Amino acid sequence: MPSTKKISTILDRIDSGHLALPEFQRGYVWSGEQVRKLFASLYHEHPVGSFLVWSPGMDNVTHRGNAALASGADMLLDGQQRVTTLYGVIRGKKPPFFDGDSKPFTGLWFHLERQDFGFYQVKMRDDPLWVDVTDLMQKGNFGSYITRFHTTSELATKVDVYSERLNKLLNIPKREIYLDEITGTDNSLEVVVDIFNQINSGGTKLSKGDLALANICSRWPEARKVMNENLQNWKLQGYNFKMDWFLRSVNTVLTGEAKFHFLHKTDAQEVINGVELTTKHINTCLNKISDRLGLDYDQVLFGRFAIPVMVRYLKQEQQLDSKTWDKLLFWYAQAGMWGRFSGSTETAIDKELEAIEDTSNGLDALLEQLRKWRGGLKAEPGHFSGWSQGARFFPVLYLLTRMGAAQDWGTGVALKANLLGKMSRLEVHHIFPKSKLYQHERGYVRSEVNALGNYCFLTKETNLNISATLPEEYFPKVEAAHPGVLASQWIPQDEKLWKIENYRGFLEARQILLAQELERRMRELLHGDDRWLDGPSSPVDEPIVLQASTDAGEEKDVQLEAVNAWMQKQQLPEGLLFFELLDSSSGKPQAELDLAWPNGIHEGYSNPVAVMLNAPATALTLADQAGFRCFTSIQDFRKYVEIDIKK
């Protein structure tokens, strides 16, 4: 039965334990812009929608947070973002069920003349027309604000007007909100989640992983906390994993299946043991991938959905010798190279899990399945013809650098994974400087300037020292100082190719060297079992013309790099330059995003964001369909960061 309740009453019910958030709900994800819009709608008495509550009629429903609940407490199904915002601004603190970033609802102010909302800036402090909304709500009256308006004759003439507006602001908690209610113990958690998804079609739906976590939490209330702690630990190591990914790994370990509904049948102790074992196996896999393949940070950890398969294999086998580990890592690298899990993840994982069920022949079956799916596993020079740090073979170039004999051109120091550490100590270096390529009369375009063949990895100091020097000038010097250092990074030895007018020939020659090095390193992992590479080569996909921006030259690169430099000054993460948006079914690139934060600027708490300068409408549409919030001007993007992200 629908009913109405004042906002203040709803907040009181939270404080008394009569209204809580079910465990399956995601955390707070609103931006500052959404907070402003909500309060503007309330102030101007515009509709703000209804709330949906679930009255389960029982006391053992798992809820978010540690606050004690009253008997028969209701669960808030729809309206979490609005209620959290209202509680945060009106109460001046986080609600007991809070999970997320509180910045968006902190420091909301109101301008009495313009009647709009903004977030605190120093200039507001001494302006009598700016009112701290939370301070006003906490005081419950506006008497102290009235004295401000007698400081000047101009303000004094509008005391009545401003008083009316302050009173209107103070009346927001008295606003009546419609509540719809689901009642009855016959409504299972699955039914309630399905209802939630139906009524929340305009917002963020709960995934199968969310439902799986909700079921786990109903049996093991500490599950979310424990799993989030593991995710945070991996984040500190440079890996940004999602809860769904972790759950998928737990699921494969416990059930041998990818589909989450199999996890619903496990009891609490099984899940507790499974999370512990899965965490152990994931750490083992990450250590092996880092130490043996050199893939030691998030951007180069391609094929991460191969890891749930690996942890299941580890559970079955328990102990692997070094040769078996190398063969498993060969499969992992190949799965990443060819985008094995870029389509239907659940289906692909299930096929791989089926292959390894035969423990006597599991790895061979896994590799044979991959070879048949791809048509061959040997790489060709054409596979290195991609461009940008978002290209599929970018991690392969990093793998070769870390796994092989690559040396730094300034110091001659080996860049092996076990000697240097994390990627933060290495930088991507353009062998031929971008500025010189863009300015050259041959008219090199962005896809050539940022080709994988023009990338290598160097220490920061060496990168700075070389700066924009041309290879024909600095190659002889670094080679004289450290003989063999150029060949260690697969540089063609024909000095004619070091000249900028022969740049395209340089790229072709280096692609051949990179393909040869990749084959050498992959055979090293096979320890003589070369049948997997002696078959047909993997087909080189037809090049896809990306829906890129129309002005693809140096000026744009400079602008985008300036955005990243600005983000660094704001102590915020830099975006990925020239990010490839992949088709979910084929794994092939659909569009190029100039600068992207695919997981949001605040990881997990804000939407994916992209800066796309002079982009065609088709590219913007594809990015929008993929869930990106796109900015077509740097000014608009910076405004978004300053208001919604940084405030």
Which residue, 596, 624, 618, is CA-closest to 389?
A: 596
pLDDT tens track for 157-197: 888 899 999 999 999 999 999 888 877 555 565 566 666 65
When mean pLDDT is compared across 182-191, 388-397, 460-469, the lowest value belongs to: 182-191
The Cα 20–Cα 69 span in angstroms is: 8
Q: What's the Cα-to-Cα distance from 494 to each of 451, 453, 488, 497, 498, rounded to whole Å? A: 20, 15, 15, 6, 7
The Cα 593–Cα 356 span in angstroms is: 38
When mean pLDDT is compared across 179-183, 405-409, 485-489, 626-630, the lowest value belongs to: 179-183
Tell me, what's the pLDDT at 606?
A: 65
Answer yes or no: are the C-beta atoms of 565 and 378 closer than 8 Å. no
Instruction: Specify the higher pLDDT residue, 59 or 506.
Output: 506
pLDDT tens track for 25-45: 777 888 888 899 999 999 999
The Cα 208–Cα 72 span in angstroms is: 27
Checking if the pLDDT of 324 tops 90, the result is: yes
Tokens of 333: 């690298």
Checking if the pLDDT of 334 tops 90, the result is: yes
Checking if the pLDDT of 605 tops 80, the result is: no
Tell me, what's the pLDDT at 142?
A: 83
Left, alpha or beta for 308 (phi > 0: left; psi -120 to 50: alpha)? alpha
Tell me, what's the pLDDT at 585?
A: 55
Q: What is the mean pLDDT of residues 267-292?
A: 94
Checking if the pLDDT of 518 tops 90, the result is: yes
Instruction: Specify the higher pLDDT residue, 340 or 590.
Output: 340
Q: How far apart are the first and last CA of the chain?
A: 40
Tokens of 3: 């009913």
Answer yes or no: are the C-beta atoms of 631 and 611 closer than 8 Å. yes
Q: What is the mean pLDDT of residues 492-521?
A: 97
* Residue that has been written with the tokens 């794994």 in this structure: 587
Tokens of 104: 């968006």
User: Strand, coil or helix: what is 179?
Assistant: strand
CA 490 to centroid of chain Cα atoms:
32
The Cα 212–Cα 260 span in angstroms is: 6
Q: What is the mean pLDDT of residues 301-327?
A: 93
- Residues 6+ positions from 366 with CB-CB distance below 8 Å: 309, 331, 352, 355, 356
Tell me, what's the pLDDT at 641?
A: 86
Tell me, what's the pLDDT at 152?
A: 74
pTM for the model? 0.76
pLDDT tens track for 609-626: 999 988 888 888 888 888
Tell me, what's the pLDDT at 424?
A: 42
Checking if the pLDDT of 547 tops 60, the result is: no
Q: What is the mean pLDDT of residues 360-377?
A: 90
- In the structure, what pLDDT confidence band is assigned to residue 627 with cuts at 50, 70 and 90? confident
When mean pLDDT is compared across 4-18, 319-333, 573-587, 633-647, the lowest value belongs to: 573-587
Answer yes or no: are the C-beta atoms of 89 and 81 closer than 8 Å. no
Cβ burial of 553 (10 Å; 0-12, 13-18, 19+) is middle
DSSP 200-239: TTTS----HHHHHHHHHHHH-TTHHHHHHHHHHHHHHTT-
The Cα 363–Cα 374 span in angstroms is: 16
Which residue, 173, 179, 172, 183, is CA-closest to 4?
A: 179
Checking if the pLDDT of 499 tops 90, the result is: yes
pLDDT tens track for 581-602: 776 555 566 777 889 988 788 7
pLDDT tens track for 99-111: 887 888 899 999 9
The Cα 402–Cα 414 span in angstroms is: 9
Answer yes or no: are the C-beta atoms of 73 and 14 closer than 8 Å. no
When mean pLDDT is compared across 283-292, 349-358, 452-461, 587-596, the lowest value belongs to: 587-596
Mean pLDDT of the chain: 86
Tell me, what's the pLDDT at 551?
A: 47
The Cα 43–Cα 129 span in angstroms is: 16
Tokens of 499: 């000249």
The Cα 313–Cα 47 span in angstroms is: 54
pLDDT tens track for 121-133: 888 888 889 999 9
Q: What is the mean pLDDT of residues 269-297?
A: 94
Tell me, what's the pLDDT at 416?
A: 83
Tokens of 610: 């992209």
Q: What is the mean pLDDT of residues 369-380?
A: 92
Domain boundaries, the chain: 1-203, 208-374, 382-534, 554-646
For 397, list phi and psi in degrees, rounded to 5. Answer: -60, -40
The Cα 219–Cα 223 span in angstroms is: 9
Beta bridge partners of 630: 610
Tokens of 162: 């401003």
